[in-house]
Structure 1
Amino acid sequence: MESPDCQLPGIASALRPYIRPRDEATQIRSDLQSSLQKHNGFEGTTLASINITRPRTGREQQTSPNIAGVRRAYLKALEAHTAAQSRYHALKADLEQLSESARPDNSSTSHDPSSVDVHYIPMLRQREKRRRLLVIERAYSGATDVGAGFVDGHLDDIVKQHAGDLPTPPATQIPAFNDKPDVEGRIASLKKSVLATRQTVNVRLSAAKKTSAVELVGSGGETAGLQSALNELTGWMERQLGVIGDAEGDVQATPAKHLTNGHAVHAAPDVESIAKLYDDYLEARQRLVHTTASPMAVDVRGPNRTASAPDQPPSGQQRGAASTVLPYIDTLSSAKQEERTLLQQSTHLRRQIAASESETQRLLARLADESHLVHPGASKGKEWAKAAESAGPATKDLAMHRLQAGVASTDVAAQSLEQVRGVPGLLDHLAG
């Protein structure tokens, strides 16, 4: 078709395939409209943009099977966009209706737009979050189903499969404590505690007596000090006689040289030495009794001492007369007390160590009966170390296998999550 009005023949020849007569163009337009109404379900209605975007009622839209690929995805995106717009308009209408119903009559002529932001927009955001969470949950369920073959097994079942059933527990229970307690040891500790308490009471009583004796005025304090010194010396001599008696028993254990009526006769020098020591003891006691009977008057108050404090004893009398006669008696008594205390502590520590060892042995026996790594009755740490060394590589390989399976499942879940997150962007890109 040549147009005599066209002044450019080249352009006319290029546009010739697209130029149709008016009646042919009208026929093509009517065919397109009828085809669109037929495939989209708008028969009997005027084809306009407002009718196309309006949600349909009645039967669901049937997509043409000839549309596939990118065009089908684009058509679905348009349908989703249309549904979203219709829902948006419906929610907007509901919000306007609610705002109109909540507005007080003749109370205020101005509308507060902040109520919509405060009450309804957070609700819409929560609905959107819930929709996203449902999508993620469906994706996680799919990833879990895919990796169920890797992570569903339990560690106990795997150990049972590789090592067999656990050994049966022993029929007899191991007693927590010994059936026969250490009665003798407890009685001995009780006796030691009683003796230590009695010794402490005696020391305090003697200290109180010494304090009361020091507070006496004049010769009364000196008499009490000398009396205590006499008692200390008497005790010392009696202990010495006990030592001599032990030495005499040792001499009797040796073969006797002279026998009289079948009894052993001691050697003369030993008897003489004992008699001499006893005479010395009697002489010392007589001197102490004489000293006690006739105390020496001593002026304890110096020239600078005032009369306002006559009852205050001098500092030299605080040690006591016994310390003056026997200067090492205080050191010996304190050393004896420390020795007794250390002995009690060492005894207590030994008992604690023995109790800990017995408890450790009992625990090892119970664990050996319950474990499948060592044989029942194993009570040494070397057997446990050998069992751990032999079972260590297998346990490590099993743990690494499970770890790799878990990492693979985690990667699959991450990929699924990324794909789910990319769906809204893809839809927006298709819609745009």
Structure 2
Amino acid sequence: MKTTIEKTSCTVLSAGGVTTPKGFKATGLHAGIKKKRKDLGLLVSEVPAAAAGVFTTNLVRAACVTQNELQLQTTPYLQAIVVNSGNANACTGVQGDQDAQTMRNSTAKLLGFENEAVAIASTGVIGVQMPMEPLLNGISQAASTLTVEGGDLFSEAILTTDTCKKEIAVQLTIDGQLVTLGGTAKGSGMIHPNMATMLAFVTTDAAVEPAALKRLLSKTTDQTYNCITVDGDTSTNDMVLVMANGMAGNDTLDEDHPQWGDFVEAFHLVSEKLAKDIARDGEGATKLIEVAVNSAPTEEIATVIAKSVIGSSLVKTAVYGADANWGRILCAAGYSGAKFDPNLLDIFIGPIQVAASGMGLVFDEEAAKEILLADNVVLTVNLNQGEASAKAYGCDLTYDYVRINASYRT
């Protein structure tokens, strides 16, 4: 079954993920890093794939982040990604660096690849040395159990405090060939604009020029993954990795290809869906919040304001309590650092306008409350000072967020 998304050139599949594109296999299993749940995932392409990555802005970075970034700067191709959850291998010194290299090199040896063809990712508790024996045993088992159907297992293995898997697959036609993109992500806490405690992996069987793929990922990240927040914390291990193996048989894509725009649209759709799923699954969250800033002088100003509003603890708690306190939205826009005239600003909660020209309106409080009680809440800020717009995504802040993080290590 397929469901067509309006105003796009691609089709979103009702099920699918990173192994839906041609030539990808994966698996996920319990290696023993966690007590019970799956904690090791392996994703492999049949052929070398053009690759790109974006990484956390935190100055404190896990070994996997540093090593992947350097690796892709030298050789923008990958054939495998190995991921563990339950241990971040961050702030673990020289031993942590060596363990990360061992994780990569052991995977490469088992698969018969060069070391540089393997990327690594870790997520979990910071400051604890990686339990290498169960990890390496798990990698050996994973290398022998890869299947096309293993995408779901991979998606499950990368989770930490997440309550659900986050997957998507889309298809479109390029050069007369069926092209597929698949994605999966994890993220629930330590989520804040400019990367978060999140991992995202996108695969495609399209042929894409590596430099163009890198530029596309960078721009798309700014518009999607860098526009989500849960709690204002930026982690040490965050990354998005993309592999394009070319097995669809299309002509190589770059900005000069006549259907580049179609591919960009599909790529953005995958990334936006994963980013929104991360925001929706925020620790303890009960609803997804979308902040739309319109009629701004520039996209940069719109983005800065959207991020400020979505990151406001007072806005997030007001949404949790279904309190139509529009003043908190205006306040968050004001301290964003963006330059605008507050006397021209309009605010909407769903379709209900609650402020005009920077001042409150008489509105139906009960109707606004019903909107705020929904699973998805849209807050709109119109600056009325231009034509640019931007969106940011987050979730409400609840009592359960404190409960979950007060006992994270136990």
Q: TM-score, normalised by structure 1?
A: 0.17
Mark the structure with the bigger radius of gyration. 1
- Greater share of strand residues, 1 or 2? 2
Structure having greater relative contact order (Cα 8 Å, sep ≥ 6): 1
- Greater share of helix residues, 1 or 2? 1
Q: TM-score, normalised by structure 2?
A: 0.18
